Amino acid sequence: MEFSLTDEQQQLRRTVREFAEGEVAPHVMEWDEASRFPTELIPKLAAMGFLGVIFPEKYGGAGLGYMEYAIIIEELARVDGSIGITVAAHNSLCTNHIYKFGSEEQKRKYVVPLAQGQKLGCWSLTEPEAGSDAGGTRTVAVKQEGLPGPRQGEPGRSVGGWVLNGSKTFTTNGHHAGVCVAMAVTDAAKKHHGISALIVEKGTPGFRPGKKENKLGLRASDTSEVVFSDCRVPNENLLGREGEGFVNSLQILDGGRISIAALGLGMAQGAYECAKGYSKQRKQFGKAIAEFQAIQFKLADMATQIDAARLLTYRAAWLADRAIAEGDHQGRFTREASMAKLYAGEVAVRVANEAVQILGGYGFIKDYPAEKYYRDVKICTIGEGTSEMQRLVIARQLLGK
């Protein structure tokens, strides 16, 4: 077994850390307090290649793997989880769905500008009545012929399409995305196998962002509703085969859960470093509190749990890279990704809690970052499948169900 990173991966970590500490850290509390999405940061993320990490260079990407992707999300989240989740949703959900299941034409048209950072992507699966039970989707796409569209009548093109109605909730990047991948029921009789994926471009009549959520944490990321009202989508924007959108989404979530594991890992690392640094400076009873065994035990547990989460996360990323290297682009690493997401997310919550405890009263005020980590990490036990759903996924994998 080889547990060390390559020289290139270590250099990547240093590069991302330098970027995060230079471009993100000075603005973290400003963005958080104002609940403001930092649009000015997007071109900088694009220039660094962070918006096309896992996509080949021929599609505008950086041509890196999931190991590098996990490192990038981890290091961004160590400074600000809001930036980490913005990059994660763009890469592993929206863009990756098109890359994995799109036609060559769709990849050229959408993956290239997304990977280059010319456009931001969002992915809409969750609805007010369809959370953990994503199969309960109510958004509907009705097939019709002769729909008007900007590309109607071109040689070799169908003039038909879909009329999309419904709404999605908890969509990361919803207000700022130029491309949305949305799941909709196209054949209710087939249940899970009657849900299809559609690509919807910003500016399409009938497509708009809805309410922006006022959140506990990750307040600089954009989380909102997206609404479809008689939104007409051409046939060419059907993503993958009709009726396989939900099944494909489960495969996309395998990679997405690696990124959420990395997100939790990074925030846990940031909270731990905050607590350790404070414990060396804070004096009580004539000595630094780091000299007290009670604090030492807390730090020891935090560091151990973070390392265990890192190993689970990197294992899942390594398996994803191995599947791709072997040409098995649909290769599944469901159990390992869910284990990493479950454990890293729950570790992040525990570590952030202990960080606040170590800082005491100062952990409860905004002069120190501990309280922000405490607010931010909770999403890691909820988003892209709750901890309860991860346990269910893992159990089914173990029992062969």
Phi, psi of 102 (to 5 degrees): -80, 160
Nearest CA to 174 out of 60, 257, 93 is that of: 93
Q: What share of the chain is helix, strand, coil (3-state, %, to 5)?
A: 55, 15, 25
Phi, psi of 211 (to 5 degrees): -65, 130
Question: In terms of C-beta density within 10 A (0-12 exposed, 13-18 middle, 19 or more buried), how is residue 216 classed?
Answer: exposed
Q: Is 346 a catalytic residue?
A: no
Which is the catalytic residue, given 127, 244, 336, 384?
A: 384
**Six-digit token string for 290:** 């780091």
Catalytic residues: 384
